[in-house]
Structure formats: structure tokens, C-alpha cells
Structure 1
């Protein structure tokens, strides 16, 4: 679990570092923004795997419910063309979910 925590930190930190390096060269910014999708994919897959292992864990249930809610809001805002809501709220949800899953993993290590 400790190795998975370190991998999670690397996968979260890599886009941040690349985006900061984007101040020097705009190609890093592009790659940093694209790698955030891989970060989200890793976290969703790992969250599902953890939920399958521990289906009664309330924190994992809340995480997965928020992921489903995020995608429902995103698809709804795209369908109805309500871009203002999507621009303000939807950009803040994935970093919060990434932080929340990181805290869940950290607490599992501490046990």
C-alpha cells in the first residue's frame, strides 16, 4: 500500500511539475494538462479497485459517489450548454477528488 501511495503522489505531482515547467516552455504546459487526464483515469480505476476490495468503506463509497456526480454534472452541462457552471465548479471537483483519495490511501497506510 505504501508503494501505491508513492505512485499516487507521483501521478498527482507530475502534471503539476510539468505545468510549472510550462512557464519556461509551452510544450510542458500542454503535456502537463494532458497528463491530468491520465491522473484522473488512474485514480478512478484505483478507487474502483479499492471499493471492490472494501465495499462497506464509507469513505470509498463517498469518493465513488462524488465521481459519478461529477460525470453526471459534466455531461448535463454539456448537453444543455450551460458552460458558465461547468467552467467554475467542474474545474475544482477533480483536484478535490484527487486530494480526497490521497487522504483515504494515507489513512489506510496508517492503520
Structure 2
């Protein structure tokens, strides 16, 4: 569990680390920082699936994976209907919430 915790900390810290280089690289740092948030999301989804594979009856992990599936389903629906403003702005805030939720789950499991 410690390795998962360290890998998650790396994934969450990567965009922040790149953003710290903003005074040096300016726009490139901002662009790559935003781009690395996709890498963070990918790593977290993989970690969540691996953890769910190890503990298939954990309700928190089931909820996390369900929320990820719901997010991507709503994203696909939003693209099909021509990007509804309310849905687009709602979808914008979901990935940070999912990041904090999985981080919370990982740290709770590491403590116990």
C-alpha cells in the first residue's frame, strides 16, 4: 500500500511541480502542467482499478470507479449534444474531486 501511496503522491504532485517552473519556462510550463493533469487522471484510474481488483467488495472504490464511468459517459453525451454550458461547467470540476477522493481512500487504507 505504501508504493501505491507514493505513486499517487507523484501523480498528484507532477502538475504542481511543472507549474513551479513557470517563472523559468512561462507558457510552456503552464501548457505542460495542464497536459500532465491528464497523466494524473490516467494514473489514478489505473490505481483505482488495481485496488478494486484486489478488494472487489470495497464500497468506496466501487463508488470511485462508478463516478469515473459516469464522468466519461457525461463527457461523451455532452460532446454529442453540442456542449451544453451547464453540463460543461459541471464536468470541469469533477476530475479534481475524483483526485481528492481517491487520494483520501488511499491514505485511509495506508493508515489501517
Asked whether the two chains share a fold, i.e. TM above 0.5, the reply is yes
Of 93-102 and 20-29, the range deviating more from structure 2: 20-29
Runs of 4+ residues deviating >4 angstroms? none
Structure 2 CA distance, aligned partners of 1:74 and 1:85? 12
Match status 1:2 vs 2:2: yes
Aligned residues: 111
Structure 1 residues without counterparts, runs of 5 or longer: none
Structure 2 residues without counterparts, runs of 5 or longer: none
> How much has 1:86 moved relative to structure 2?
4.0
> How much has 1:14 moved relative to structure 2?
1.5
> How much has 1:82 moved relative to structure 2?
2.5
Structure 2 CA distance, aligned partners of 1:63 and 1:4? 16
Return the TM-score normalized by structure 2: 0.90
Give the structure 1 partner of residue 13 of structure 2. 13
CA distance 1:73–1:23, change in 2 (3 Å): farther
Give the structure 1 partner of residue 29 of structure 2. 28
Contact 2:18 2:29 in 1 (8 A): yes
Give the structure 1 partner of residue 95 of structure 2. 94
